[in-house]
Chain A
Amino acid sequence: MDFLAPTTWADALAAKAEHPDALPVAGGTDVMVEINFDHARPPALLDLTRLPVLREWARDGGRIRLGAGVTYARVIDELGATLPGLAMASRTVGSPQIRNRGTVGGNLGSASPAGDSHPALLAADTTVEVASVRGVRLLPIGEFFTGVKRSALAPDELIAAVLITPPSGPQQYCKIGTRNAMVIAVSAFGFALHPDRRGVGTGIGSAAPTPRRAPAAEEFLAGELEAAGLWDSRGALPDGLAREFGHRVRDAASPIDDVRGTAAYRLASLSVMARRAATWAWDAHRSAACGPSDEDPPVRMHP
Chain B
Amino acid sequence: MTTSATPATAATSTRAGVAGRIGESPLRPDGTLKVTGEFAYASDLWHDQMVWGVTLRSPHPHARIVSIDLSAALAVPGVSAVLTADDVPGVNAVGLEHLDQPALATGVVRYEGEPVALVAADHPETARRAAKRIVVTYEVLPAVTDPRRALDADTPRVHDGGNLVRRMAVRRGDPSPSAPVVVALEFEVGMQDQAFLGPESGLAVPAEDGGVDLYVATQWLHVDQDQICRVLGLPPEQVRLSLAGVGGAFGGREDLSMHVHACLLALRTGKPVKMSYSREESFFGHVHRHPAWLSYEFGAERDGTLVYAKADVLLDGGAYASSTGAVVGNAGTLGLGPYRIPNVHVDARGVYTNNPPCGAMRGFGCVQAAFAYEALMDSLADAVGIDRVEIRVLNGMREGDSNITGQVIDSAAPVAELIAIVRDMPLPPDRAENPDLRDLPGGVSNTTHGEGVVRGVGYAVTYKNVGFSEGFDDHSTARVRLEITGGEPVVTVQTAAAEVGQGLITVEQQICRTELGVERVVVHPKDTTVGSGGSTSASRQTYVTGGAVKAACEAVRSSVLARAAAVLGRDDLRLEGDKIVAQDRHGSGEVLAGLAEILGTDAVEETVQWRHRPTHPIDPLTGQGDAHVQYAFSAHRAVVDVDVELGLVKVVALDTAQDVGLAINPDAVLGQIQGGSAQGMGLALMEEIVVTDGHVRNPSFTDYLIPTILDMPPMTIQVLEYADPHAPYGVRGVGEPPTISSGPAVAAAVRAATGRPLRRVPIRPEHIVGG
Residues of A participating in the B interface, judged by any CB pair closer than 8 Å = 37-38, 88, 91-92, 172-184, 186, 259-262, 264-265, 267-269, 272-273, 276, 280, 296, 298-302
Contact = CB atoms under 8 A, between A and B. Distances in A.
Contacts of A181: 443-444, 708-711
30 contacts: A88-B446, A172-B446, A173-B446, A174-B445, A174-B446, A174-B447, A175-B447, A177-B442, A177-B445, A178-B764, A179-B708, A179-B710, A180-B438, A181-B443, A181-B710, A181-B711, A184-B702, A184-B703, A262-B766, A264-B766, A268-B766, A268-B769, A269-B647, A272-B447, A280-B449, A298-B446, A299-B437, A299-B444, A301-B436, A301-B444
B248 to A, nearest CB: 18
A187 to B, nearest CB: 10
B675 interface: no
B645 A175 contact: no
Nearest to A175: B445
Interface in B698-729: 698, 702-703, 705, 707-711
A301 B445 contact: no
B342 interface: no
Contacts of A265: 647, 765-766, 769, 771
A174 B452 CA distance: 15
B284 to A, nearest CB: 15
Contacts, number: 112
A296 B449 CA distance: 13
Contacts of A177: 442, 445
Contacts of A259: 690, 697-698, 703
B650 interface: yes
A162 to B, nearest CB: 21
Nearest to B447: A174
Contacts of B709: 181
A120 to B, nearest CB: 11
Interface in B101-130: 128
Interface of B: 128, 280, 434-438, 441-449, 451-452, 645-648, 650, 685-686, 690, 697-698, 702-703, 705, 707-711, 764-766, 769, 771
A82 B128 CA distance: 49
Nearest to B434: A300
A91 B447 contact: no
A99 B443 CA distance: 16
A95 to B, nearest CB: 8
Given A37-B280, A300-B434, A276 B708 contact: no
B435 A268 contact: no
A259 B686 CA distance: 12
B756 to A, nearest CB: 14
Contact of B443 (A37, A180, A272, A276): A180
A92 B705 contact: no
B646 A183 contact: no
A261 B769 CA distance: 12
Given A267-B771, A272-B646, A301-B436, A183 B444 contact: no
B710 A180 contact: yes
Nearest to A184: B702
A276 B451 contact: yes
A178 B765 contact: yes
A15 to B, nearest CB: 26
A268 B448 CA distance: 15
Contacts of B445: 92, 174-177, 180, 183
Nearest to B770: A268
B686 A178 contact: yes
A92 to B, nearest CB: 5
A276 B447 CA distance: 8
A301 B697 CA distance: 35
A300 B436 contact: yes
A180 B442 contact: yes
A179 B765 contact: no
Give the one of A179, A264, A269 with max B CB within 10 A: A179
Contacts of B128: 38
A105 B700 CA distance: 25
Nearest to A269: B646
Nearest to B449: A280
Contacts of B764: 178, 261
B707 A302 contact: no
Nearest to A279: B451
Nearest to B435: A300
A19 B187 CA distance: 58
Contact of B447 (A176, A182, A268, A296): A176
Contacts of B441: 180
Contacts of B686: 178-179
A276 B703 contact: no
Contacts of A299: 437, 444, 446
A262 B771 contact: yes
Contact of A176 (B436, B437, B646, B650): B646
- A-B pairs with lowest CB-CB distance, top 5: A180-B443, A265-B766, A265-B771, A175-B445, A180-B710
A182 B710 CA distance: 10
B765 A186 contact: yes
A186 B703 CA distance: 11
Contacts of B766: 261-262, 264-265, 268
Contacts of B448: 276
